[in-house]
Amino acid sequence: MPLSAGNTGVVSRTGSAIAGVAAAAIGAAAGQLVAAVVNPAAAPIVAVGAVIVDLVPTPLKEWAVATLGTADKAVLLATVVVGVAALAAAAGILGARRLGIGIGILVGVGLIGLVAAVTRTAAGQLDWLPSVVGTAIAVLLLRLQLGWLAERGSSAGAGSPGIDRRVLLTGAAGAVAATVTVAVAGRPQATETSTAVELPTPATPAPPLPAGLETGVQGISPLRTPTPDFYRIDTALVLPRVSATDWKLKVDGMVAEPFELTWDELLALPLIERDITLTCVSNEIGGPYCGSTRWTGVLVADLLRRARPDPAADQVLSSSVDGFTASTPLAVLLDGRDAMIAIAMDGEPLTTVHGFPARLVTPGLYGYVGATKWLSRLKVTTFAADQAYWTVRGWADQAPVKTACRIDTPTGRIGAGQAVIGGVAWATHRGIGRVEVQIDSGPWVTAELGPDVGLDYWRQWYLPWAATGGSHQLAARAYDASGLPQVAQVQGVLPDGATGYHVVQVTVA
Protein backbone atom coordinates (compact mmCIF):
# COMPACT_ATOMS: atom_id res chain seq x y z
CA MET A 1 0.00 0.00 0.00
CA PRO A 2 1.45 3.45 -0.91
CA LEU A 3 2.21 5.70 2.02
CA SER A 4 -0.17 8.36 0.79
CA ALA A 5 -3.12 6.00 1.07
CA GLY A 6 -5.57 6.92 3.78
CA ASN A 7 -5.27 6.10 7.44
CA THR A 8 -8.91 5.02 7.51
CA GLY A 9 -8.93 1.93 9.64
CA VAL A 10 -6.07 0.34 7.73
CA VAL A 11 -3.09 2.05 9.36
CA SER A 12 -3.37 2.27 13.14
CA ARG A 13 -3.59 5.87 14.40
CA THR A 14 -1.78 4.79 17.54
CA GLY A 15 0.94 3.20 15.50
CA SER A 16 1.38 6.24 13.26
CA ALA A 17 1.51 8.54 16.31
CA ILE A 18 4.18 6.32 17.88
CA ALA A 19 6.07 6.40 14.58
CA GLY A 20 6.06 10.21 14.56
CA VAL A 21 7.18 10.56 18.17
CA ALA A 22 9.87 7.90 17.79
CA ALA A 23 11.23 9.56 14.65
CA ALA A 24 11.41 12.96 16.32
CA ALA A 25 12.93 11.58 19.52
CA ILE A 26 15.69 9.69 17.76
CA GLY A 27 16.30 12.68 15.49
CA ALA A 28 16.59 14.98 18.52
CA ALA A 29 19.00 12.54 20.16
CA ALA A 30 21.11 12.52 17.01
CA GLY A 31 21.12 16.30 17.01
CA GLN A 32 22.23 16.25 20.65
CA LEU A 33 25.15 13.95 19.75
CA VAL A 34 26.26 16.23 16.93
CA ALA A 35 25.92 19.26 19.23
CA ALA A 36 28.16 17.58 21.80
CA VAL A 37 30.93 17.85 19.20
CA VAL A 38 29.99 21.17 17.58
CA ASN A 39 28.53 23.19 20.47
CA PRO A 40 26.22 21.86 23.22
CA ALA A 41 24.16 25.06 23.11
CA ALA A 42 23.31 24.36 19.44
CA ALA A 43 21.35 21.18 20.27
CA PRO A 44 17.83 21.74 18.86
CA ILE A 45 15.97 21.21 22.15
CA VAL A 46 18.40 23.43 24.03
CA ALA A 47 18.40 26.18 21.39
CA VAL A 48 14.61 26.35 21.33
CA GLY A 49 14.53 26.38 25.13
CA ALA A 50 17.00 29.27 25.19
CA VAL A 51 14.78 31.28 22.85
CA ILE A 52 11.82 30.62 25.13
CA VAL A 53 13.86 31.82 28.12
CA ASP A 54 14.57 35.07 26.28
CA LEU A 55 10.98 35.60 25.12
CA VAL A 56 9.10 34.68 28.30
CA PRO A 57 7.72 37.78 30.10
CA THR A 58 9.66 38.78 33.21
CA PRO A 59 6.79 38.07 35.68
CA LEU A 60 6.54 34.52 34.33
CA LYS A 61 10.30 34.09 34.71
CA GLU A 62 10.08 35.19 38.33
CA TRP A 63 7.15 32.86 38.96
CA ALA A 64 9.23 29.96 37.59
CA VAL A 65 12.19 30.81 39.83
CA ALA A 66 9.97 31.27 42.89
CA THR A 67 7.95 28.10 42.23
CA LEU A 68 10.46 25.72 40.68
CA GLY A 69 13.74 27.09 42.04
CA THR A 70 16.82 25.63 40.37
CA ALA A 71 14.64 22.97 38.68
CA ASP A 72 13.21 25.61 36.32
CA LYS A 73 15.63 24.76 33.50
CA ALA A 74 14.91 21.02 33.63
CA VAL A 75 11.16 21.70 33.62
CA LEU A 76 11.55 24.03 30.63
CA LEU A 77 13.50 21.44 28.65
CA ALA A 78 10.93 18.77 29.49
CA THR A 79 8.14 21.12 28.36
CA VAL A 80 9.89 21.69 25.03
CA VAL A 81 10.21 17.92 24.59
CA VAL A 82 6.49 17.43 25.30
CA GLY A 83 5.61 20.12 22.75
CA VAL A 84 7.83 18.54 20.12
CA ALA A 85 6.34 15.12 20.89
CA ALA A 86 2.81 16.45 20.32
CA LEU A 87 3.80 17.90 16.95
CA ALA A 88 5.61 14.69 16.06
CA ALA A 89 2.54 12.59 16.90
CA ALA A 90 0.50 14.81 14.59
CA ALA A 91 3.18 14.38 11.92
CA GLY A 92 2.84 10.61 12.20
CA ILE A 93 -0.98 10.57 12.06
CA LEU A 94 -1.25 13.08 9.23
CA GLY A 95 1.73 11.56 7.43
CA ALA A 96 -0.07 8.23 7.22
CA ARG A 97 -2.70 9.99 5.10
CA ARG A 98 -0.37 12.32 3.23
CA LEU A 99 3.31 11.66 3.70
CA GLY A 100 4.24 15.15 2.58
CA ILE A 101 2.27 16.71 5.42
CA GLY A 102 4.01 14.61 8.04
CA ILE A 103 7.41 15.36 6.59
CA GLY A 104 6.51 19.05 6.40
CA ILE A 105 5.69 19.14 10.12
CA LEU A 106 8.99 17.52 11.07
CA VAL A 107 10.93 19.83 8.75
CA GLY A 108 9.11 22.80 10.30
CA VAL A 109 10.05 21.67 13.79
CA GLY A 110 13.65 21.20 12.67
CA LEU A 111 13.67 24.64 11.08
CA ILE A 112 12.61 26.19 14.38
CA GLY A 113 15.56 24.50 16.07
CA LEU A 114 17.93 25.62 13.32
CA VAL A 115 16.83 29.26 13.45
CA ALA A 116 17.02 29.24 17.25
CA ALA A 117 20.58 27.86 17.13
CA VAL A 118 22.05 30.17 14.48
CA THR A 119 20.46 33.39 15.76
CA ARG A 120 21.94 33.11 19.26
CA THR A 121 24.31 35.93 20.20
CA ALA A 122 27.24 33.55 20.56
CA ALA A 123 26.35 31.23 17.65
CA GLY A 124 29.20 29.39 15.91
CA GLN A 125 29.71 28.62 12.23
CA LEU A 126 28.50 25.02 12.52
CA ASP A 127 25.58 25.56 14.90
CA TRP A 128 23.14 24.76 12.07
CA LEU A 129 24.46 21.21 11.75
CA PRO A 130 22.74 19.51 14.75
CA SER A 131 19.27 20.59 13.59
CA VAL A 132 19.90 19.57 9.98
CA VAL A 133 21.24 16.13 10.94
CA GLY A 134 18.47 15.57 13.49
CA THR A 135 15.73 16.59 11.04
CA ALA A 136 17.10 14.41 8.24
CA ILE A 137 17.19 11.35 10.49
CA ALA A 138 13.68 12.07 11.80
CA VAL A 139 12.26 12.36 8.26
CA LEU A 140 13.91 9.12 7.13
CA LEU A 141 12.65 7.24 10.20
CA LEU A 142 9.11 8.57 9.77
CA ARG A 143 9.00 7.45 6.14
CA LEU A 144 10.43 4.04 7.03
CA GLN A 145 8.01 3.40 9.89
CA LEU A 146 4.93 4.53 8.01
CA GLY A 147 5.98 2.14 5.26
CA TRP A 148 6.05 -0.70 7.80
CA LEU A 149 2.59 0.25 9.04
CA ALA A 150 1.23 0.43 5.51
CA GLU A 151 2.58 -3.04 4.75
CA ARG A 152 0.94 -4.44 7.89
CA GLY A 153 -2.34 -2.68 7.08
CA SER A 154 -2.34 -4.09 3.58
CA SER A 155 -1.76 -7.65 4.82
CA ALA A 156 -4.47 -7.25 7.47
CA GLY A 157 -7.13 -6.46 4.87
CA ALA A 158 -10.42 -5.46 6.46
CA GLY A 159 -9.30 -6.57 9.91
CA SER A 160 -7.53 -4.55 12.54
CA PRO A 161 -3.97 -3.84 11.39
CA GLY A 162 -2.53 -3.50 14.90
CA ILE A 163 0.91 -1.97 15.37
CA ASP A 164 3.96 -3.26 13.57
CA ARG A 165 6.51 -4.78 15.97
CA ARG A 166 9.31 -2.78 14.33
CA VAL A 167 7.44 0.45 15.06
CA LEU A 168 7.01 -0.60 18.70
CA LEU A 169 10.73 -1.29 18.99
CA THR A 170 11.55 2.03 17.33
CA GLY A 171 9.11 3.73 19.70
CA ALA A 172 10.82 2.17 22.70
CA ALA A 173 14.18 3.33 21.35
CA GLY A 174 12.69 6.79 20.86
CA ALA A 175 11.48 6.90 24.46
CA VAL A 176 14.96 6.02 25.68
CA ALA A 177 16.48 8.58 23.32
CA ALA A 178 14.13 11.32 24.54
CA THR A 179 14.90 10.57 28.19
CA VAL A 180 18.65 10.58 27.57
CA THR A 181 18.40 13.78 25.51
CA VAL A 182 16.64 15.70 28.27
CA ALA A 183 19.00 14.31 30.91
CA VAL A 184 22.12 15.20 28.91
CA ALA A 185 20.81 18.61 27.88
CA GLY A 186 19.95 19.52 31.46
CA ARG A 187 23.12 18.40 33.22
CA PRO A 188 26.26 20.50 33.63
CA GLN A 189 28.75 19.92 30.82
CA ALA A 190 32.20 18.71 31.80
CA THR A 191 35.00 21.16 31.04
CA GLU A 192 38.45 21.79 32.35
CA THR A 193 38.59 20.65 35.96
CA SER A 194 40.11 22.47 38.89
CA THR A 195 42.92 19.91 38.99
CA ALA A 196 44.05 21.18 35.58
CA VAL A 197 44.43 24.78 36.80
CA GLU A 198 47.11 25.98 39.18
CA LEU A 199 46.43 29.21 41.05
CA PRO A 200 49.14 31.64 42.15
CA THR A 201 49.32 32.74 45.77
CA PRO A 202 47.27 35.92 46.30
CA ALA A 203 49.31 39.08 46.78
CA THR A 204 46.88 40.19 49.50
CA PRO A 205 45.35 37.13 51.18
CA ALA A 206 42.31 37.39 53.41
CA PRO A 207 42.74 36.73 57.15
CA PRO A 208 41.61 33.35 58.51
CA LEU A 209 37.84 33.07 58.77
CA PRO A 210 36.64 33.07 62.39
CA ALA A 211 34.65 30.18 63.82
CA GLY A 212 30.96 30.45 62.97
CA LEU A 213 27.90 29.88 65.11
CA GLU A 214 26.89 26.73 63.23
CA THR A 215 28.72 24.49 65.71
CA GLY A 216 26.51 25.73 68.56
CA VAL A 217 23.27 26.72 66.81
CA GLN A 218 21.76 23.77 65.01
CA GLY A 219 20.07 24.63 61.73
CA ILE A 220 21.78 27.97 61.15
CA SER A 221 23.50 28.65 57.81
CA PRO A 222 27.26 28.02 57.99
CA LEU A 223 29.44 31.10 58.06
CA ARG A 224 30.97 30.05 54.75
CA THR A 225 28.70 28.47 52.16
CA PRO A 226 30.16 25.22 50.75
CA THR A 227 30.70 25.54 47.00
CA PRO A 228 28.32 22.65 46.12
CA ASP A 229 25.58 24.43 48.13
CA PHE A 230 26.16 27.88 46.63
CA TYR A 231 23.06 29.01 44.76
CA ARG A 232 22.92 29.10 40.97
CA ILE A 233 20.62 31.47 39.08
CA ASP A 234 21.40 32.26 35.43
CA THR A 235 19.92 32.06 31.93
CA ALA A 236 22.17 29.27 30.58
CA LEU A 237 20.32 26.05 29.73
CA VAL A 238 23.66 24.47 28.86
CA LEU A 239 26.72 25.62 30.76
CA PRO A 240 29.27 27.27 28.45
CA ARG A 241 32.27 25.16 27.52
CA VAL A 242 35.31 27.37 28.12
CA SER A 243 38.96 26.36 28.21
CA ALA A 244 41.38 28.49 30.20
CA THR A 245 43.86 28.05 27.36
CA ASP A 246 41.53 29.70 24.84
CA TRP A 247 39.91 32.21 27.18
CA LYS A 248 40.44 35.95 26.68
CA LEU A 249 39.03 39.03 28.35
CA LYS A 250 38.48 42.09 26.18
CA VAL A 251 38.37 45.54 27.79
CA ASP A 252 37.16 48.14 25.30
CA GLY A 253 34.43 50.66 24.51
CA MET A 254 34.80 54.26 25.60
CA VAL A 255 38.43 53.90 26.62
CA ALA A 256 41.70 55.44 25.48
CA GLU A 257 43.63 52.16 25.56
CA PRO A 258 41.58 49.02 24.84
CA PHE A 259 43.32 45.70 25.45
CA GLU A 260 42.86 41.94 25.79
CA LEU A 261 44.07 39.60 28.51
CA THR A 262 44.79 35.90 28.21
CA TRP A 263 44.36 33.53 31.15
CA ASP A 264 48.10 33.51 31.86
CA GLU A 265 48.25 37.31 31.69
CA LEU A 266 45.35 37.59 34.11
CA LEU A 267 47.03 35.25 36.59
CA ALA A 268 50.24 37.25 36.34
CA LEU A 269 48.48 40.31 37.77
CA PRO A 270 48.31 40.90 41.55
CA LEU A 271 45.58 38.69 43.02
CA ILE A 272 43.43 39.64 45.99
CA GLU A 273 41.48 37.32 48.30
CA ARG A 274 38.26 38.60 49.89
CA ASP A 275 35.23 37.26 51.79
CA ILE A 276 32.09 38.43 49.98
CA THR A 277 28.37 37.64 50.12
CA LEU A 278 26.46 37.42 46.83
CA THR A 279 22.70 37.76 46.54
CA CYS A 280 20.31 37.27 43.63
CA VAL A 281 17.70 39.95 43.02
CA SER A 282 15.17 37.11 42.60
CA ASN A 283 15.61 36.14 46.24
CA GLU A 284 12.29 36.49 48.03
CA ILE A 285 12.33 37.52 51.69
CA GLY A 286 13.70 34.50 53.55
CA GLY A 287 14.74 32.86 50.29
CA PRO A 288 17.80 30.65 49.61
CA TYR A 289 19.50 32.65 46.86
CA CYS A 290 22.22 34.18 48.99
CA GLY A 291 25.65 32.72 49.68
CA SER A 292 28.95 33.71 51.24
CA THR A 293 32.44 32.51 50.45
CA ARG A 294 36.05 33.53 49.85
CA TRP A 295 36.80 34.83 46.36
CA THR A 296 40.17 35.23 44.64
CA GLY A 297 40.70 37.50 41.68
CA VAL A 298 42.01 40.69 40.09
CA LEU A 299 40.59 44.10 40.94
CA VAL A 300 38.37 45.41 38.16
CA ALA A 301 39.47 48.96 38.97
CA ASP A 302 43.07 48.09 38.02
CA LEU A 303 41.96 46.93 34.58
CA LEU A 304 39.70 49.92 34.03
CA ARG A 305 42.38 52.42 35.00
CA ARG A 306 44.75 50.72 32.58
CA ALA A 307 42.16 51.20 29.82
CA ARG A 308 41.57 54.89 30.83
CA PRO A 309 37.77 55.32 30.56
CA ASP A 310 36.25 58.35 28.84
CA PRO A 311 34.97 60.88 31.43
CA ALA A 312 31.54 60.70 29.77
CA ALA A 313 31.20 56.94 30.44
CA ASP A 314 28.99 55.81 33.32
CA GLN A 315 28.53 52.08 32.76
CA VAL A 316 30.52 48.89 32.25
CA LEU A 317 28.61 46.35 30.17
CA SER A 318 30.01 42.92 31.03
CA SER A 319 29.41 40.03 28.64
CA SER A 320 29.42 36.27 29.06
CA VAL A 321 30.72 33.90 26.40
CA ASP A 322 27.10 32.85 25.79
CA GLY A 323 25.95 36.41 25.06
CA PHE A 324 24.46 37.33 28.45
CA THR A 325 25.14 40.93 29.49
CA ALA A 326 25.03 42.86 32.77
CA SER A 327 25.23 46.62 33.36
CA THR A 328 27.37 47.83 36.26
CA PRO A 329 27.75 51.50 37.22
CA LEU A 330 31.30 52.56 36.39
CA ALA A 331 31.49 54.65 39.56
CA VAL A 332 30.81 51.58 41.70
CA LEU A 333 33.68 49.67 40.11
CA LEU A 334 36.04 52.58 40.79
CA ASP A 335 34.92 53.60 44.30
CA GLY A 336 37.43 51.44 46.17
CA ARG A 337 35.33 48.35 46.88
CA ASP A 338 36.79 44.92 46.13
CA ALA A 339 35.00 44.37 42.81
CA MET A 340 37.03 41.71 41.03
CA ILE A 341 37.42 39.39 38.11
CA ALA A 342 37.20 36.26 40.24
CA ILE A 343 38.99 33.05 39.27
CA ALA A 344 38.47 31.03 42.46
CA MET A 345 36.00 30.50 45.28
CA ASP A 346 36.84 28.95 48.63
CA GLY A 347 40.46 28.51 47.56
CA GLU A 348 39.69 26.43 44.46
CA PRO A 349 39.30 27.39 40.80
CA LEU A 350 35.74 28.28 39.85
CA THR A 351 33.51 25.38 38.94
CA THR A 352 31.78 25.42 35.57
CA VAL A 353 28.48 26.08 37.33
CA HIS A 354 29.89 29.21 38.95
CA GLY A 355 31.57 30.72 35.90
CA PHE A 356 34.87 28.98 35.11
CA PRO A 357 37.35 30.29 34.18
CA ALA A 358 36.48 33.85 35.30
CA ARG A 359 33.49 35.83 36.51
CA LEU A 360 32.65 39.27 37.80
CA VAL A 361 32.04 39.73 41.54
CA THR A 362 30.83 43.14 42.75
CA PRO A 363 30.22 43.52 46.50
CA GLY A 364 27.05 45.42 47.30
CA LEU A 365 25.23 44.85 44.00
CA TYR A 366 22.70 42.16 43.10
CA GLY A 367 24.08 39.53 40.77
CA TYR A 368 22.19 40.62 37.66
CA VAL A 369 24.20 43.86 37.52
CA GLY A 370 27.47 42.77 39.05
CA ALA A 371 28.22 39.04 38.87
CA THR A 372 28.49 37.98 35.21
CA LYS A 373 29.70 34.39 34.88
CA TRP A 374 31.91 32.98 32.07
CA LEU A 375 33.15 36.54 31.57
CA SER A 376 34.55 37.51 28.16
CA ARG A 377 34.25 41.28 27.82
CA LEU A 378 34.11 44.54 29.76
CA LYS A 379 32.74 47.32 27.55
CA VAL A 380 32.96 50.84 28.97
CA THR A 381 29.88 52.68 27.78
CA THR A 382 26.83 54.65 29.00
CA PHE A 383 23.43 53.64 30.30
CA ALA A 384 21.91 55.74 27.51
CA ALA A 385 23.76 53.82 24.81
CA ASP A 386 23.54 50.22 26.07
CA GLN A 387 21.05 48.18 28.05
CA ALA A 388 21.81 44.76 29.49
CA TYR A 389 19.86 41.49 29.37
CA TRP A 390 17.75 42.12 32.47
CA THR A 391 17.45 45.91 32.29
CA VAL A 392 15.84 45.55 28.85
CA ARG A 393 13.28 43.36 30.61
CA GLY A 394 12.24 45.94 33.17
CA TRP A 395 14.76 45.53 35.99
CA ALA A 396 16.41 48.59 37.51
CA ASP A 397 19.76 49.96 36.28
CA GLN A 398 20.91 50.66 39.82
CA ALA A 399 20.63 47.63 42.08
CA PRO A 400 22.37 47.94 45.45
CA VAL A 401 21.72 44.98 47.74
CA LYS A 402 19.01 45.77 50.28
CA THR A 403 19.36 45.02 53.97
CA ALA A 404 17.73 41.67 54.68
CA CYS A 405 17.41 39.12 57.45
CA ARG A 406 16.54 35.42 57.25
CA ILE A 407 15.35 33.04 59.95
CA ASP A 408 16.99 29.65 59.41
CA THR A 409 15.83 27.97 62.60
CA PRO A 410 13.44 26.90 64.06
CA THR A 411 10.99 25.77 61.39
CA GLY A 412 7.89 23.65 61.38
CA ARG A 413 7.31 21.76 64.62
CA ILE A 414 9.61 21.68 67.66
CA GLY A 415 9.43 20.49 71.24
CA ALA A 416 8.72 22.76 74.20
CA GLY A 417 11.61 24.05 76.30
CA GLN A 418 14.82 25.87 75.58
CA ALA A 419 15.28 26.61 71.87
CA VAL A 420 17.27 29.00 69.72
CA ILE A 421 16.02 31.34 67.02
CA GLY A 422 18.81 31.96 64.54
CA GLY A 423 19.73 32.90 61.01
CA VAL A 424 21.77 35.26 58.86
CA ALA A 425 21.49 38.93 57.89
CA TRP A 426 23.23 40.92 55.19
CA ALA A 427 23.63 44.51 54.03
CA THR A 428 26.48 43.92 51.60
CA HIS A 429 29.08 46.70 51.51
CA ARG A 430 27.37 48.43 54.44
CA GLY A 431 27.63 45.71 57.09
CA ILE A 432 25.17 44.52 59.74
CA GLY A 433 25.00 46.44 63.04
CA ARG A 434 22.02 44.83 64.77
CA VAL A 435 19.35 42.14 64.41
CA GLU A 436 16.08 42.10 66.34
CA VAL A 437 13.54 39.33 66.82
CA GLN A 438 9.83 39.58 67.58
CA ILE A 439 7.80 36.71 69.02
CA ASP A 440 4.00 36.74 68.67
CA SER A 441 3.76 40.49 68.05
CA GLY A 442 5.60 41.19 71.31
CA PRO A 443 8.46 43.64 71.79
CA TRP A 444 11.46 43.54 69.50
CA VAL A 445 14.42 41.90 71.26
CA THR A 446 18.03 42.37 70.21
CA ALA A 447 19.70 39.15 69.09
CA GLU A 448 23.31 38.12 69.63
CA LEU A 449 25.48 38.61 66.55
CA GLY A 450 28.02 36.14 65.26
CA PRO A 451 31.56 37.00 64.11
CA ASP A 452 32.10 40.12 62.02
CA VAL A 453 33.86 39.15 58.79
CA GLY A 454 33.52 42.60 57.22
CA LEU A 455 31.13 45.00 55.51
CA ASP A 456 30.83 42.74 52.46
CA TYR A 457 29.87 39.61 54.42
CA TRP A 458 26.73 38.41 56.13
CA ARG A 459 26.37 38.08 59.92
CA GLN A 460 25.03 35.08 61.74
CA TRP A 461 22.73 35.82 64.68
CA TYR A 462 20.78 33.98 67.36
CA LEU A 463 18.36 34.51 70.26
CA PRO A 464 17.72 31.97 73.07
CA TRP A 465 13.99 31.23 73.40
CA ALA A 466 11.97 29.46 76.07
CA ALA A 467 9.46 27.88 73.72
CA THR A 468 5.99 27.20 75.16
CA GLY A 469 3.29 25.01 73.67
CA GLY A 470 1.13 26.30 70.85
CA SER A 471 1.53 28.12 67.54
CA HIS A 472 3.97 31.03 67.46
CA GLN A 473 4.86 33.69 64.92
CA LEU A 474 8.52 34.66 64.69
CA ALA A 475 9.78 37.75 62.84
CA ALA A 476 13.26 39.19 62.36
CA ARG A 477 14.67 42.46 61.08
CA ALA A 478 18.19 43.80 60.58
CA TYR A 479 19.91 47.17 60.75
CA ASP A 480 22.96 48.05 58.71
CA ALA A 481 26.17 49.25 60.34
CA SER A 482 25.05 52.88 60.14
CA GLY A 483 21.86 52.10 62.10
CA LEU A 484 19.40 52.17 59.18
CA PRO A 485 16.75 49.42 59.48
CA GLN A 486 15.69 47.22 56.63
CA VAL A 487 12.51 48.28 54.84
CA ALA A 488 9.39 46.93 56.56
CA GLN A 489 7.03 47.41 53.62
CA VAL A 490 6.47 44.19 51.69
CA GLN A 491 7.57 44.42 48.06
CA GLY A 492 8.24 41.74 45.48
CA VAL A 493 11.54 41.21 43.74
CA LEU A 494 10.71 43.42 40.74
CA PRO A 495 12.27 45.82 39.84
CA ASP A 496 15.18 46.02 42.29
CA GLY A 497 14.83 43.41 45.03
CA ALA A 498 12.34 42.32 47.68
CA THR A 499 11.67 44.11 50.96
CA GLY A 500 9.82 43.21 54.15
CA TYR A 501 10.53 41.26 57.34
CA HIS A 502 10.97 37.49 57.31
CA VAL A 503 8.10 35.92 59.26
CA VAL A 504 7.74 32.21 60.07
CA GLN A 505 5.15 30.12 61.89
CA VAL A 506 6.36 27.54 64.39
CA THR A 507 4.33 24.94 66.28
CA VAL A 508 5.63 23.97 69.71
CA ALA A 509 4.46 20.54 70.89
In this structure, are 167 and 21 located in the same domain? yes
For 266-307, give the DSSP string: HHTSPPEEEEEEEE-TT--TT-S-EEEEEEEEEEHHHHHHHH
In this structure, are 37 and 178 located in the same domain? yes
- Contact (Cβ atoms closer than 8 angstroms) between residue 381 and residue 307: no
Residues 4-26: pLDDT tens digits?
434 444 567 888 888 888 888 88
In this structure, are 111 and 142 located in the same domain? yes
Residue 397 in any domain: the answer is no
Residue 130 in any domain: the answer is yes
Q: What is the dihedral of CA 122, 125, 130, 136, to 10 degrees?
A: 140
In this structure, are 165 and 219 located in the same domain? no
In this structure, are 225 and 326 located in the same domain? yes
In this structure, are 361 and 441 located in the same domain? no
Residue 1 in any domain: the answer is no
In this structure, are 59 and 178 located in the same domain? yes
Q: What are phi and psi of 476, to 5 degrees?
A: -140, 145
Q: How far apart are CA 444 and CA 483, in angstroms?
A: 15
Which one of 332, 348, 381 terminates a domain? 381
Residue 391 in any domain: the answer is no
The confidence score (pLDDT) of residue 183 equals 62
Q: Is 120 left (phi over 0), alpha (psi -120 to 50) or beta?
A: beta
In this structure, are 146 and 225 located in the same domain? no
The confidence score (pLDDT) of residue 13 equals 84
Residue 275 in any domain: the answer is yes
In this structure, are 369 and 423 located in the same domain? no
**Which residue range is the domain that position 137 belongs to?**
13-186
In this structure, are 372 and 409 located in the same domain? no
Q: What is the model's pTM?
A: 0.85
Please return the burial class of 45, using the count of CB atoms within 10 Å of its CB with bins 0-12, 13-18 and 19+: buried
Cα–Cα separations (whole angstroms), residue 397 to 33, 251, 403: 40, 21, 18
What 3-state DSSP class applies to 319? strand
Beta strands 502-508 and 470-480: pairing type? antiparallel
Which one of 129, 158, 186 terminates a domain? 186
Residue 388 in any domain: the answer is no
Q: How many helices (H) and strands (E) in the chain?
A: 11, 19
Which one of 153, 186, 219 terminates a domain? 186
Which residues, given as ranges, of the chain have pLDDT below 70? 1-11, 153-164, 167-168, 170-195
Q: How far apart are CA 283 and CA 290, in angstroms?
A: 7
In this structure, are 179 and 200 located in the same domain? no
CATH number of the domain enclosing 336: 3.90.420.10
Kindly report the number of other CB atoms within 10 A of residue 153's CB atom. 25
> Which of these, 275, 490, 335, lies nearest to 402 by C-alpha position?
490
What 3-state DSSP class applies to 505? strand
The confidence score (pLDDT) of residue 151 equals 78
User: Rounded to a whole number, what is the distance in angstroms from the first to the last CA of the chain?
Assistant: 74
CATH number of the domain enclosing 449: 2.60.40.650
In this structure, are 227 and 203 located in the same domain? yes
The confidence score (pLDDT) of residue 129 equals 94
Q: How far apart are CA 138 and CA 446, in angstroms?
A: 66
Beta strands 412-414 and 340-345: pairing type? unpaired
- The number of folded domains in the chain is 3
The confidence score (pLDDT) of residue 141 equals 87
Residue 38 in any domain: the answer is yes
Residue 375 in any domain: the answer is yes
